[in-house]
Amino acid sequence: MKISITKTTTPSTMPPEDKLGFGKVFTDHMLIVDWTESEGWKDARIVPFGRISLHPASTVLHYGAEIFEGLKAYRRADGGVQLFRPMENIKRMNRSAERMSLPEMDEQDMLKLLTTFVKLEEKWVPKSFGTSLYLRPFMFGDDEALGVHAVKRATFMIIASPSGSYYKEGINPVSIMIEGEDVRTVRGGTGYAKCGGNYAASTRAGERAAKKGYSQVLWLDGVERKYIEEVGAMNVMFKINGEIVTPELTGSILPGITRKSCIEVLKSLGYKVSERLLSVDELVDAMKSGALEEAWGCGTAAVVSPIGKLAYGDNEYVIGGGKIGEVTQKLYDILTGIQWGKVEDTFNWVYKL
């Protein structure tokens, strides 16, 4: 795949690293690739960052044909830049595309788009530990007609946003509310795809929880409203009686790369990890008896996020004394150590640029 590059004539500078926040500042350029049913992927180009124009009948605006990915470029202590398991994001993007009837892309082509773009924007990868250049590849259907069918035109893009440390004030455990009303998705639906629609449908519950003082919701399965699925935009893990339990991938859960990496790290450390159905009743019993030792969410943004409090109905349970647990801390240290190049990558996960 050939990529043409048009550089900006008005480059901007990065705000101070402790003022970055998340997803508010964007780099100088963006990458765009067009797709049509008859010609396939074509005209890959990196151009100055700016607005894009869409036909008012564009598929994405009416029928929500949109998928995305999220990964980070990390600055190592030696000054180099690296990605974390990018092929996992690329494969997942293609699985999401298949589910949403959007076009798939050759894995090596997508890797080349990603690495070419990050290399061009290298100066935007911040330097302090915990900060990163957040990369957002996304794709949307772009037919200029209102008929409902698999799209005949699509656009793939990558934008990037330098992001501050998620834990500027230290790793504070969060309060989570088990959501009993809305569901995120159902088996057979789009839960395993990283698509915008899943987020549009789950925002309401998140806002309601925020009003009650909880930072995110814990979703139950959409069929029986009985089994734990995931937390907001993170997967979830529990330590119950010494064993690590995480919901199995039934199709309605997003298969997180952090989840997969946590499982591999935990197994390498000798922990027993069960991917299985976990009912909310079992979890409540474990909280009441004290068998639940730790709970945490895991995802690219936070890496791991300890859960200090969990509410279900009118009851609220404190987990691990409301403090970060030993396993959660260990996972944080190992994963961030590998990502920022501070500890040896014995798993062969980093991709150096």
Ligand X SMILES: *Cc1c(COP(=O)(O)O)cnc(C)c1O
Q: Is 70 in the site for ligand X (CB under 6 A)?
A: yes
CB of 148 to ligand X, least distance (A): 25
Distance CA 34, CA 44 (A): 7
How many angstroms separate the Cα of 50 from the Cα of each of 15, 31, 66, 154?
19, 11, 19, 19
Q: Is 337 in the site for ligand X (CB under 6 A)?
A: no
CB of 70 to ligand X, least distance (A): 6
Exposed, middle or buried, 156 (CB in 10 Å: 0-12/13-18/19+)? Answer: buried
Residue ranges in 99-158 that form contacts with ligand X under rule CB under 6 A: none
CB of 233 to ligand X, least distance (A): 4
Distance CA 223, CA 236 (A): 19
- Closest C-alpha among 103, 105, 106, 116 to residue 160: 116
The pair of three-digit structure tokens given for residue 254, joined into one six-digit string: 């997003």
Candidates 24-32, 97-105, 118-126, 233-241 — which segment interacts with ligand X by CB under 6 A? 233-241
Q: Is 254 in the site for ligand X (CB under 6 A)?
A: yes
Residue ranges in 271-330 that form contacts with ligand X under rule CB under 6 A: 299-300
Q: Is 331 in the site for ligand X (CB under 6 A)?
A: no
For ligand X, the closer CB: 28 or 229: 229
Q: Which residues pair with 5 in a beta bridge?
A: 46
Candidates 38-46, 50-58, 232-240, 335-343 — which segment interacts with ligand X by CB under 6 A? 232-240
How many angstroms separate the Cα of 333 from the Cα of each of 110, 151, 330, 340?
30, 44, 5, 10
CB of 300 to ligand X, least distance (A): 3
For ligand X, the closer CB: 120 or 338: 338
The pair of three-digit structure tokens given for residue 86, joined into one six-digit string: 């990018």
CB of 235 to ligand X, least distance (A): 5
The residue within the footprint of ligand X, chosen from 105, 174, 217, 234 (CB under 6 A), is 234
Candidates 129-137, 206-214, 256-264, 319-327 — which segment interacts with ligand X by CB under 6 A? 256-264
Instruction: For tokens 């996960």, name the residue.
Output: 349
Distance CA 191, CA 252 (A): 4
CB of 247 to ligand X, least distance (A): 11
Instruction: For tokens 């519950």, name the residue.
Output: 205
For ligand X, the closer CB: 194 or 309: 194
How many angstroms separate the Cα of 188 from the Cα of each of 185, 191, 223, 251?
9, 8, 11, 7
CB of 57 to ligand X, least distance (A): 28
For ligand X, the closer CB: 141 or 232: 232
Q: What is the DSSP string of 258-323?
A: HHHHHHHHHHHTT--EEEE--BHHHHHHHHHHT-EEEEEEEETTTEEEEEEEEEETTEEEE-GGGS
Residue ranges in 176-215 that form contacts with ligand X under rule CB under 6 A: 194
Binding site for ligand X (CB under 6 A): 70, 194, 230, 233-235, 254, 256-259, 299-300
